[in-house]
Homo-oligomer: A and B are copies of this chain.
Amino acid sequence: MLKLTRKLEYALIALRHMQTKGELLSTTKEISDMYTIPQELLAKTLQQMARLEYIDAVQGSHGGYRIHSSMSKISLTKFIEDLEGPMGMVDCSVASDCIQLNNCNIRQPINRINDNIRSIFSRINLSDITH
């Protein structure tokens, strides 16, 4: 309940690590060794973040990743949804093929809570975590 996925954990750990290194490049191996993260898994996450332009990738020998400068102002909501897709406490707030949509008696109150949570996450910047 309410737990971050490993992917998000790894992503945040990596971002924070890169933040401390400024312009210097970090490699997948370096990070996976340091924090005991499965290398291939971290690699995929870093690749995804590079595609999303959270980080810059430098290819080839002596390559690596560095954090994208304008990244810190991103909200946690956007970050999570970029990496994992839409978040919502109940599916009907995301997709609408629930068999009981009309019957469901908790949709409105739950959706209100959902909005509350989203707005909290939206006020938290990535930099609050990786600072």
Taking Cβ atoms with an 8 Å cutoff, the residues of A that contact B are 1-5, 8-9, 12-13, 16-17, 34-36, 76, 80, 84-85, 87-91, 99-100, 103-106, 109-110, 113, 116-117, 120, 124, 128-131
Could you write out 9 A-B pairs with CB less than 8 Å apart? Answer: A1-B80, A1-B84, A13-B104, A13-B106, A16-B105, A34-B103, A110-B129, A113-B128, A120-B120
Which residue of B is nearest A112, CB measured? Answer: B128
- Contact, CB under 8 Å: A99 / B129: no
- Contact, CB under 8 Å: A89 / B35: no
Min CB gap A5→B, angstroms: 7
A117 to chain B: which residues have CB within 8 Å? 2, 117, 120
**Distance of A106 Cα from B26 Cα, bound (Å):** 17
A103 to chain B: which residues have CB within 8 Å? 34-36
Min CB gap A17→B, angstroms: 6
- Contact, CB under 8 Å: B87 / A2: yes
Which of B89, B109, B128 is A128 in contact with, Cβ under 8 Å?
B109
